[in-house]
Amino acid sequence: MPSQVVSLTGYILSSSKYQDKDAIISLLTPEKIYQIRVRGGFDVTGKNHSATLIFNKVTVDANRTGENFLSATGVKTLENHTSLYPKILPNLVGQLAGEISLKVFAEGDSLPYEYYKMTLEALEKGFDPLTLAFIFSCQGIKAGISPEINECVNCGKKTNLVSFSYDEGGFLCQECAIEANYPRQDINYLKTIRYGFLVKPDQLTRAVLPPNTTYKALDDTIKALESQLGITVKTYKLITEAGF
């Protein structure tokens, strides 16, 4: 079968060594996450080494030699985000966004391309990593669970929403919360949850969320991702160890 050359533009979510100096990269494009073999990717003097640098936006020319197999023939860096590497928390939050993208979003899902792009740009500008980590986690859980955030998940009431639970499937009004034995929650926590789900990618830096409330909301969201989708978000453990 003759090879077919394709040109793909996107962000490098991950890279791992394959055989000796080759690499397998995950490339986030607006349409799909591609797995691409990069020959000589881990040869630091090679022409394709830039294809292994996570966070960077690149154009990869590749041969399609089978339905699910791509082999890179060339790479051009469009945006360099390696300045995030020495910054511990921004680096880890960028990795968290990549890990969630890889583990949560399946074929056919609406990919978080714009959220990933704007997250990296905001991290580079020094915006609050905790706020960004929480927002991206919300976008991830929307793809897998999609909790109800606009009305009571049980009765459909849109007012007097006093509690939120991933186990229940979203917000609860006062009557349904009492019936389900869920306590009224702090209004700042509820506002933070709504903000994380509703904020658009071009508005990520509109507000810095309150740290204590946001950390609890992030922790709840990651735990829901892991328990309800059956995944492990390894980067989150590193983030907690680094200390927000």
CA-based nearest residue to 104, from 11, 230, 201: 230
Tell the burial category of 116 from Cβ atoms under 10 Å away from its Cβ (0-12, 13-18, 19+).
buried
Phi, then psi, of 79 in degrees rounded to 5: -135, 135
pLDDT digits (tens, 9 = 90+) for 78-98: 999 999 999 999 999 999 999
pLDDT of residue 69: 64
The pLDDT value recorded for residue 68 is 59
CA atoms of 244 and 242, how far apart (whole Å): 7
Q: Is 94 in a helix, a strand, or coil?
A: helix
pLDDT at site 3: 61
Q: What residue type is 191 in one-letter code? A: K
The pLDDT value given to residue 124: 97
Q: Which CATH superfamily is domain 83-242 in?
A: Recombination protein O, C-terminal domain (1.20.1440.120)
CATH number for the region 4-80 comes to 2.40.50.140
Please, are residues 4 and 18 in contact by the beta-carbon 8 Å criterion? no
Q: What is the pLDDT of residue 41?
A: 85
Residue 59 contacts residue 50 (beta carbons within 8 Å) = no
C-alpha torsion sign, points 176, 179, 182, 183: positive
CA–CA dist 140, 104 (Å, integer): 6
Residues of the chain with pLDDT under 70: 1-3, 65-69
Q: Which two tokens stand for residue 109?
A: 């899902």
- For the chain, the domains span 4-80, 83-242
Mind listing the pLDDT tens digit for each residue in 16-44?
A: 988 888 899 999 999 999 999 998 888 88
User: Are residues 95 and 54 in contact, defined by beta-carbon separation less than 8 angstroms?
Assistant: yes
Q: In angstroms, how far apart are the furthest CA atoms of the chain?
A: 65
Query: What number of other Cβ atoms are within 10 A of residue 211's Cβ?
Result: 12
**Residue 238 has what pLDDT?**
95
Task: Give the pLDDT score at 2.
Answer: 54
Q: Are 209 and 192 in contact (CB under 8 A)?
A: yes
